[in-house]
Amino acid sequence: MIPKITLEPLNPDHAQALFDLTRANKQHLTQWIPLFDLINSYSDIKNYIASSATDPASGAAVNFAIRQQGALCGIVGFHEIIKKQQLGSLAYWLAHEQQGKGIMTQAVNKLLNIGFTELHLNKVEIRCAVDNRKSRAIPERLGFLYETTLQQREWLYTKHVDHAVYSMLATEYQA
């Protein structure tokens, strides 16, 4: 059975739980997301939250806390919205112990609904490291189209990694 989740716009009330979650999952998270090397204190988390807009209609990036049975277990959000192009790009991460339960698939699907119905996006993209099979499984499971591979798209500690690019058009989305 897939656990029920809720999404909440990320806000200062999430700071302590998010700090605790990132500390507990730092090794897991930094494998694919170097940003977490920069989060070393409670103040860093507060700055991260402050940089996340609370109104996705503003066109700014916006992140949502994922809660499962009331506990914060990850983040999903639009890290980029280009209003003129009606294009949004998603990013996400989940606590290691919560993976494999359908939580992130459900969270991304909820964010797609926001993107296509509230923000009136025409296209949503997901980009992830080619070798990050767990992350790639999300767009594949939701019916995204694999578009291309961007060679050496990101510097990840000691090497460049390729990114797989997936997309979904508003006309393809089924709520």
Domain range list for the chain = 5-172
Token duo for residue 98: 């919560």
The whole-number pLDDT of residue 24 equals 92
The whole-number pLDDT of residue 130 equals 96
The whole-number pLDDT of residue 50 equals 86
The whole-number pLDDT of residue 145 equals 98
- Beta-sheet strands, E only, within the chain: 5-9, 62-68, 71-82, 87-94, 123-129, 145-156, 159-169
Architecture of the CATH domain 5-172:
3-Layer(aba) Sandwich (3.40)
Give me the residues of the chain with pLDDT under 70, please.
Answer: 1, 53-61
The whole-number pLDDT of residue 33 equals 84
